[in-house]
Chain A
Amino acid sequence: MNKNIVALTVNGEEYDLALEPQVTLLEALRDHLGLTGTKEGCGTGECGSCTVLMDDKPILSCLTLAADCRGSQIVTIEGLAQGGKLTAVQEAFLEKGAVQCGFCTPGMVLSVTALLDENPQPSEEDLKKALEGNLCRCTGYNKIVEAVHQAVETISSPEGEGRQA
């Protein structure tokens, strides 16, 4: 076998995994770390279900080699809620009914989180551009857009100030 030790930092935890070179980050997360929140949709970069954050930027884990993630901070959907408390974006998705079958949701939530971390007041255009790589076949996107607007409000409100997206 042609395995190498790959050091990964996922949701703040460090892991050393013995992986073959062709193992993608998605496979490492799901099959080796048991973090099955990250979904495999198309596996070819079209649907965005496998979106995770690498150094706070959204990437496709299905087209990233685990071995290429050395030294990067990976955040998956499991890493957002702190101490059982959901983030503003997660709360907004629940309240607005932006989750139906739920398969696109982890990717959607992470793409929105990355957007709001960088641009807490996105325009409609910014928002659609940020989510163009996340396909949803249930909601028709309106509920998701509403949820983002609500998350923006929560984060910018006095109580939500300083609150993480």
Chain B
Amino acid sequence: MHLPRFKLLQPRSLNEAVEFIDRYGASARLGAGGTDLFVRMKYRVASPEYVVSLKQIPAKAPSIDENGALSVEALTTLRDVVRSDVVANRAPVLAEAAHTVASAQIRTMGTLGGNLCLETRCLYYNQSHTFQYVEPCFKRDGDRCYFVPKGKRCWAVFMGDTAPALVALDALVEVESSAGRRTMPIERLYTHDSLCPVSLSPAEIISTVVIPASGRRTGEAFVKSSPRGGLDFAIVSAAAVLEAGDDGTCSRAAVVLGSIAAMPVRASQAEALLQGKVLTRDLIQEAARTASAEIRPVMHHGHSASYLRRCVEVITEDALSLAFERLVIR
């Protein structure tokens, strides 16, 4: 399969990359690992005039800054995220999530920033349309959805694995543009619109992901349910972060689900149920049931909404139980 023609720009620094995207705007696409963009270009569902390849820009190793926050550059490959001792120590849920992404080859190429900016996916869109004589869908500038019958909008699902983990960690993203730097909570990176899932303008680029220092006793876990258990996008994924005082009372709970909507979704009722209570197995089961009842999964890749709802309950319980065990051990 061949790539369509494009003009290649290879900046040597982030500043140079910012100059390029400022100059070329929507006619340019950023390619970090290329594992999402180039596949879509081969399928001819993306055909930018310019590709700004970020491969020549070196990424610093993840580090702890002066405020005790963990800072991971967006161009850090998923492989380096998985292998970083600092990440394993300070944000194990992020390392665990990055470890479940695709394959060893793709983790070597793909970057954290790229994983956060994945295009939303669906069975119809993510394929070659060369021999497909049907009207295009919303994502291909058409007016229909083949995924949700009679759908009045695009229902494609955001399937990145690191985003739910970072939402659960209350991470911040630093975004660079020619106007300077802005910092925002990671949840604001997403629009909840499948057609345009990431809120950045074409002239903006994520430079760094910052994870604020956490409380002393935390337990974290990421669980992904996938068809083959390897080289897969998630059917549903769950990230859980628990913080507890010495008496076992939960001081902070985060439960975030991935691959069920156009962005990672917090199970806020389940979080509220856990907060301020002494953590027990029964409470965790109740929280999982609550999450399953409050989340409205979008059906995707042949999985019905009722099946996904059941998956949400099972993997939320798995993630919370694992986080709870790790909390006790630490």
Contacts and interface: CB of A to CB of B under 8 A. Distances in A.
> Do A and B come together as binding partners?
yes
Interface of A: 2, 20-24, 27, 40, 42-46, 48, 51, 54, 57-60, 62-65, 67-68, 70, 111, 114, 128-135
Nearest to A135: B231
B2 A22 contact: yes
A22 B106 contact: no
B20 interface: no
Which residue of A44, A59, A67, A129 has the most chain B CB atoms within 10 A of its CB atom? A44
Which residue of A43, A63, A129 has the most chain B CB atoms within 10 A of its CB atom? A63
A68 B2 contact: no
Return the 3 tightest CB-CB contacts between A and B, nearest first: A133-B103, A43-B1, A132-B230
Interface stretch (B4-12, B177-185, B317-325): B4-12
Given A59-B108, A111-B105, A45 B35 contact: yes
B63 interface: no
Given A58-B104, A60-B105, A21 B6 contact: yes
Contact of A44 (B8, B39, B53, B104): B39
Contacts of A128: 230
A24 B5 CA distance: 12
A22 B35 contact: no
B294 to A, nearest CB: 33
9 contacts: A21-B8, A22-B4, A22-B6, A48-B105, A58-B104, A60-B105, A63-B109, A65-B53, A133-B231
A27 B2 contact: yes
Given A51-B105, A68-B53, A133-B102, A21 B7 contact: yes
Contacts of B4: 22
A58 B231 contact: no
B153 interface: no
Nearest to A107: B105
Given A67-B10, A68-B10, A132-B230, A44 B42 contact: yes
Contacts of B55: 65, 68
A39 B117 CA distance: 29
B50 to A, nearest CB: 10
Interface string B37-59: 01100110000000101011000
A59 B109 contact: yes
Contacts of B1: 40, 42-44, 62
A132 B231 CA distance: 6
Interface string B223-239: 00000001100000000
A53 to B, nearest CB: 10
